[in-house]
Amino acid sequence: MKILRTYLLREHLGPFLVTVGGLTVVLLVGNLIKFAELVISKGVSIWDILRLVIYLIPYLLSFTIPMACLVAIVMAFGRLSTDYELIAMRASGIAPVRLVVPMLVVGALISGGIVVLNDRVIPDAHLAFRRQLKAIGMKQPTAYIEAGTFIKEFTPYVMFVYQVEGKTMFNIRIYEPRPQGPTRTIVATRGEFEPIQGGSAVRLTLYEGTVDEWDPERPGSLYKVSFGTYTMNLSPDAEGRGRLGKKLKEMTFHELLQERTRLIAEGIDALPITIEFHRKVAASFATIIFVLFGLAMGLRLHHHERLVTFVWVLGVFVAYYLAAIGVNAVALKGWMPAWLATWLPNLAGLLMGGISLAKAVRR
């Protein structure tokens, strides 16, 4: 039986690794296109982009690893079925349940690994991703300036840019609201950022525009001055200059529990933290649900049913994550306890997958 277990695991390993790699690349493609644009048109260093890709991979693995388990099991059992090896095993007196147990153990071990991934690796990677974005923004601000949006990172200024091409911005409006007195406005035909040595600020050079200046003879009023070149040193606001605060998805399980305790002690509703904690833990065990469905489909798979089976594979994956999104909304509305709502897709999947596997084993 040890030889058979080793053979089954080896049959699943290849499809599992290929599927993990393929799905991760597919999910990266959309981001890679955006990252490539930053390198080509906005001059961002390819090494900075490579860091962003590396920090993004752990988050993607939390989805691709469970999906790969499901696909690999169906593919492996499909090949065994097509080559009549499953029939030969049954004819030799090997009960199907003996084929199932090793895969369930592997699924439980992978779920344990994803617990660590969700608790330690993904929070750190997500925080590092944001820090890298901030570093890129300081070195190359135009990389993350979107035309047609108000930019409020450089307090007290509010910036609006109508067009961005590469490193150059066109048709720029900069507003400096004043609590007492009129808002100061700077208008420029074009402008460019450049980092200041030390990385704590950037220099904005504006060309061909006008600036409202205070009139010393008439306090509270402005007069307009035309310029050919106008230079401003801009720094992020206090929050941007300081250490990045952690978002909920960037906290470990222990940090989430500590934050929840602190908020409750202060009389603050900690429901979002409770939901995030249970969501992370529940999502870690999605692999077991997918293994159950994969075994149930794989044991009943015939060579002429492969296309239909893979449609079911996609359906199981989509249904689980749509249900997870739906129950989060239900929990936020307070219609169901947070722990029950976040664990409901797992409980439903465990029940349905277990029943399907039991039927497949008895065949």
Per-residue pLDDT of the chain (363 residues; tens, 9 = 90+): 677 778 888 888 888 999 999 999 988 887 787 777 677 666 677 888 889 899 999 999 999 999 999 999 888 887 777 777 777 777 777 777 777 888 899 999 999 999 999 999 999 999 999 888 777 776 777 766 777 878 877 888 888 898 888 778 999 999 888 777 678 889 999 998 887 766 667 888 999 999 987 776 676 677 788 999 999 888 765 444 445 568 888 899 999 999 999 888 887 888 989 999 999 999 999 999 999 998 888 887 765 566 677 788 888 989 999 999 999 889 988 889 999 999 999 999 999 999 998 888 876
pLDDT at 302: 63
As a whole number of angstroms, the distance between CA 9 and CA 85 comes to 15
Query: From the centroid of its chain, how far is CA 136?
Result: 19
CA dist 15 → 104, 292, 322 (Å): 17, 17, 25
Ordered by start, the domain boundaries in the chain are 2-138+246-362, 154-235
pLDDT at 62: 92
Give Rg (Cα) of the chain: 28
pLDDT at 40: 66
pTM of the model: 0.74
Q: Which residues have C-beta within 8 Å of that of residue 153, sequence separation ≥ 6?
A: 137, 236, 237, 240
CA dist 289 → 18, 42, 304, 358 (Å): 21, 44, 25, 14
The tokens describing 303, both together, are 């060579």
As a whole number of angstroms, the distance between CA 329 and CA 335 comes to 9
pLDDT at 351: 95
- How buried is residue 335: exposed, middle or buried, by Cβ count under 10 Å (0-12/13-18/19+)? exposed
- How buried is residue 32: exposed, middle or buried, by Cβ count under 10 Å (0-12/13-18/19+)? middle
Kindly state the greatest CA–CA separation across the chain.
Answer: 103
